[in-house]
């Protein structure tokens, strides 16, 4: 036991729970405060839990705490994107090389594994405890309940998500830079139920119905169902605002997503009753005030289009753990080093996630774009160490920081913009001077 | 009386009070809620009130409500900048043409005039009433006091400043874009007292001690004193962080601002006891939710370096009044039109204000920059309708929107960057082909 310090974590979500494990393993006394009820005690909601894409960065962090194998057993590998055209044609684009894939995982399953593990290490969870305010001088939390006395700690970590109460308290202190920016699209979750004998779509794919200004996607669940998400504008001619009646919904889906539509018996019901949720990017700085630190979505909420929100949060935990090693568990130095090291990377993934929405909803349906991807895959095959496509750097190369992936990706884009100007590139691309292309990097 | 609608204004500052006048004149019932005490009942603080630069946009709004002449009588015209070098050399740069000037005005004097006028028109002011929350469905305000019952209105306008409570309530509603960004400099107010026979520095100037990475400025007050403001980094080698002891302060001022220093008998006292304040830019959108609207700093707080914060807020009032005319006092249409029309301009002045800090603290001490200004003044003299320098557009041309000033200014900058490349420009500039330069615009 290196330390008897007591650390409070606000938020028992994915990042808060994994962080609790890391800290408990280091010998800290850890208390986690969660405003919701204990999800392990709530009746499961008929297998329609939201799923997430777990990739290398997240897995690496899970590996470090010895949970990767357990999680892999309940994950579904997705080896690439299956694009669905309006006429029902399918095309497949692998995410990386043979053996590289991302994993569809149930958020609640993963969260429960993490909480159970944390508890087994002595972490104390407090549910239905909503942070009301933070005392930055006394390193204390006040809770929303008249009879609650404030609790003091050696440090507090706000891992309480995109609408963090700890960050809210920080926001009204002086010189706290902050932004929240919503995109013009919202999303709605829909369902493709399992067939009697398994999955109704190819199981090991992330399915996309790209329609330029909007898209439908589907990720597999272990019960054989798919959770579909429609990303769609809030306002405008074709939007959540204008698509209101059951008839309008049905006819829109029949026109735009005919193959998906026929697999969705509860479409109209789901559409009319499920909430329409918004998508926000949150940036702030500093992440540290005195002995209080923000992590995960509380520090850097991003849009979901690169499948990196959770992965970035898990990487936060791994980086913090590494910096605790490096700083001999001196918390204030560690927190300072953490924000300095990490901010550039989370800013980068915020940008990459916004950019990838355009790629997913529009470009993946574009022939020229697919050719570009094919050429990049060839470059990667020929020069596996030198030319790594952006998607791969972000998803499969966890030793490459997001900021480095972003800047290399920008250089690659410039080079590929030029390459794509080659006359008759569509037919001539196999005879490109690949070595010369790579040498421009 | 066109209307018996009841409008609540949060904030009895400059914008809230002027807005109350505008609305009362239109026949609205107006209630203003201010969290501070009534400044008219507090003992005046020895003439050291903060002063502001009132220019054409603000004056135009005051004119429309019949207050411009009264305000002009207590304003001190400032015809240009007087730059003070370290060695005490003075140089003067006029703000515009003969007869164009900005006005140093006491914030509290101006505020009192506005409140008195509003009250004379039947506006009801409530002091020490702090907005605790806003009910966006019922258009109601809740106040911070256990026995206060909420009050309902036909509309609520948040004119409650850079740390607006109304905006705070809006910020936690869905899809509200928001950013607050602090610059790395803070400021501290200091004083040059009056001489027995008047002003110790040239009265009709804004004084600047530009020192590249920081600056001191001074604006005249009607009692003969000057309010000085040091804009200085919070952190770093030379910063508020490192300048702490009386000796350090005195020796820094003696080295950097010797001529000002000898006029400041209370320098060390002021420096050590006055607060160090921060400087923030706030942007948000939408400004409207249901029947609740944000205006002034609550919607768009900016840094003070273009002297436009108050002027932009007063212009808000004038634009809103104009749109009420245009929309026959239909409030929801007016509010929607207001944010659509106004956002581009307040974004532009936010940018211009940040840019002008660099000009004031650094460039005004630069010979090449002063030559550039001289050439632009010549262009303006020769083609008074075609080439209007950026500072003039913003300050003296109230019919030009801030966004238009910004974009024209950017074109002018490109043209002038080229002009300044002319060989021997320092001596040859009078023989430039001015007509050709103007034609590039």
Cβ–Cβ of A174/B278 closer than 8 Å?
A: yes
For residues A338 and A323, what is the distance between their CA atoms, to the nearest angstrom? 7
What is the CA angle B22-B25-B27, rounded to 5? 120
* Residue in A163, A175, A181 closest to B177 by CB: A181
Task: Provide CATH code, domain A2-77+101-180+280-356.
Answer: 3.50.50.60
Low-confidence stretches of chain B (pLDDT beneath 70): 1-3, 43-49
Q: Which residues of A touch B178 (CB under 8 A)?
A: 178-180
Predicted pLDDT of residue A43: 65
pLDDT digits (tens, 9 = 90+) for A5-53: 999 999 999 999 999 999 999 999 999 999 999 999 976 554 345 889 9
Distance between CA B398 and CA B404 in Å, rounded? 11
User: Residues of A near B (CB-CB distance < 8 A)?
Assistant: 163, 171-172, 174-182, 234, 278
Q: Is the pLDDT of residue A92 over 70?
A: yes
Whether the Cβ atoms of residue A226 and residue A192 lie closer than 8 Å to each other? yes
Q: Which residues of chain B make contact with A163, given a CB cutoff of 8 A?
A: 172
The pLDDT of residue A379 is above 80? yes
Average pLDDT, integer, range A391-403: 97
Instruction: Give pLDDT, residue B350.
Output: 98
Q: Say if the Cβ atoms of A182 and B177 lie within 8 Å.
A: yes
Given an 8 Å threshold on Cβ–Cβ distance, is B176 in contact with A171? no
Tell me what pLDDT residue A48 has.
Answer: 44
Interatomic CA distance for residues A318 and B98, integer angstroms: 65
CB B389 within 8 A of CB B433: no
A174 contacts in chain B (CB < 8 Å): 182, 278
CB contact under 8 A, B180 and A178: yes
A-B contacts (CB, under 8 Å) = 34
pLDDT tens string A264-281? 999 999 999 999 999 999
Q: How far apart are CA A134 and CA A64, in angstroms?
A: 31
Four-point Cα dihedral A82, A88, A89, A90, nearest 10: 10
User: For residue A365, is pLDDT > 80?
Assistant: no
CA distance B356 to B349: 10
Tell me the C-alpha distance between B198 and B186, whole Å: 30
Residues of chain A positioned with their CB less than 8 A from the CB of B177 = 180-182
Q: Which chain B residues are within 8 Å of A176, Cβ to Cβ?
A: 180, 182
Domain boundaries, chain B: 2-77+101-180+280-356, 182-278, 366-439
CA angle B48, B53, B44 (to 5 degrees): 25
Q: Is the ipTM of this complex over 0.85?
A: yes
User: Crossing angle for the helix pair A331-361 and A402-419, nearest 10 degrees?
Assistant: 30
Question: pLDDT tens across A214-228, in order?
Answer: 999 999 999 999 999
Residues 6+ apart with CB under 8 A from A14: A107, A110, A111, A114, A296, A310, A313, A314
- pLDDT average, residue stretch A391-414: 97
Tell me whether residues B278 and A177 touch, CB distance under 8 A.
no
CATH of domain A182-278: 3.30.9.30
Residues of B in contact with A175 (CB under 8 A): 182, 234, 278
Q: Tens digits of per-residue pLDDT, A320-331?
A: 999 999 999 999
Question: Measured between beta carbons, which residues in chain A are less than 8 angstroms from residue B182?
Answer: 174-177
Contact list, B234 vs chain A (CB under 8 Å): 175
Rounded to a whole number of angstroms, the CA Rg of chain A reads 23
pLDDT the model gives residue B3? 60
> Taking Cα atoms as reference points, which of A306, A311, A279, A397 lies closest to residue A360?
A306
Measure CB to CB from residue A182 to each of B175, B181, B278 and give the nearest one.
B175
- Radius of gyration, alpha carbons of chain B: 23
pLDDT at A46: 42
Q: Against a cut of 0.80, is the pTM above it?
A: yes
* Nearest residue on chain A to B163, alpha-carbon basis: A172
pLDDT in the model for residue B162: 95
Task: Determine contact, residues A294/A16, Cβ cutoff 8 Å.
Answer: no
| A171 contacts B182? CB cut-off 8 A | no
Rounded Cα–Cα distance for residues A334 and A101 (Å): 33
Whole-number Å distance between alpha carbons of A62 and A73 = 13
Instruction: State the smallest CA–CA distance between residue A20 and chain B in angstroms.
Output: 28
Contact B182 A180 (CB under 8 A): no
Structure tokens at A68: 């990767």
What is the per-residue pLDDT for B436? 96
pLDDT tens digits, A134-157 = 999 999 999 998 777 899 999 999
pLDDT at residue B326, as a whole number? 98
Task: Determine how many CB atoms are found less than 10 A away from the CB of residue B101.
Answer: 22
- Got the DSSP string for B311-372? HHHHHHHHHHHHHHHHTTT-HHHHHHHHHHHHHHHHHHHHHHHHHHHHHHHTGGG-HHHHHH
Test mutation, A162, A174, A183, A282, chain B, max B CBs within 10 A? A174
């Amino acid at each position: 036991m290196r330390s008897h310090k007591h650390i409070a974590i606000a938020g028992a979500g994915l990042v808060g729970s994994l962080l609790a494990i890391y800290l408990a393993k280091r010998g800290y006394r850890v208390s986690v405060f969660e405003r919701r009820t204990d999800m392990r005690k709530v009746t499961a909601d008929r297998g329609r839990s939201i799923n997430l894409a777990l990739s290398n960065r997240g897995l690496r962090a899970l590996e470090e705490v010895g949970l990767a194998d357990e999680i892999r057993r309940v994950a579904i590998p997705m080896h690439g994107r299956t694009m669905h055209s309006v006429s029902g044609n399918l095309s497949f684009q692998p995410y990386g090389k043979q053996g590289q894939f991302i994993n569809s995982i149930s958020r609640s399953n993963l969260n429960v594994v993490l909480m159970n593990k944390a508890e087994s290490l002595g972490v104390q969870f407090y549910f239905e405890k909503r942070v009301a305010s933070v005392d930055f001088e006394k390193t204390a939390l006040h809770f929303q309940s008249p009879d609650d006395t404030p609790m003091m700690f050696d440090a507090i970590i706000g891992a309480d998500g995109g609408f963090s109460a700890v960050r809210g308290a920080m926001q009204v202190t002086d010189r706290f830079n902050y932004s929240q920016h919503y995109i013009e699209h919202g999303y709605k979750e829909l369902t493709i139920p399992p067939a009697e004998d398994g999955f109704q779509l190819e199981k090991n794919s992330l399915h996309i119905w790209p329609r330029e200004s909007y898209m439908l996607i589907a990720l597999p669940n272990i019960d054989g169902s798919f959770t579909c998400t429609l990303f769609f504008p809030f306002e405008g001619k074709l939007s959540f605002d204008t698509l209101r009646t059951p008839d309008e919904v049905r006819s829109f889906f029949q026109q735009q997503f005919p193959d998906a539509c026929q697999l969705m018996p509860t479409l109209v019901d789901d559409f009319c009753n499920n909430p329409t949720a918004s998508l926000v990017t949150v940036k702030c700085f500093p992440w540290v005030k005195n002995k209080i630190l923000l992590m995960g979505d509380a520090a850097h909420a991003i849009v979901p289009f690169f499948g990196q929100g959770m992965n970035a949060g898990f990487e936060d935990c791994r980086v913090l753990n590494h910096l605790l090693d490096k700083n001999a568990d001196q918390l204030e130095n560690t927190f300072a080093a953490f924000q300095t090291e990490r901010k550039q990377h989370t800013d980068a993934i915020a940008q990459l996630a916004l950019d990838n929405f355009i790629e997913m909803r529009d470009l993946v349906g574009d022939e020229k774009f697919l050719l570009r991807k094919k050429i990049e895959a060839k470059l990667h095959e020929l020069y596996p160490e030198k030319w790594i496509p952006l998607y791969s750097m972000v998803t499969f190369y966890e030793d490459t920081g997001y900021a480095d992936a972003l800047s290399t990706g920008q250089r690659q884009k410039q080079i590929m913009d030029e390459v794509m100007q080659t006359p008759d590139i569509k037919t001539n691309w196999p005879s490109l001077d690949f070595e010369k292309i790579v040498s421009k990097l």
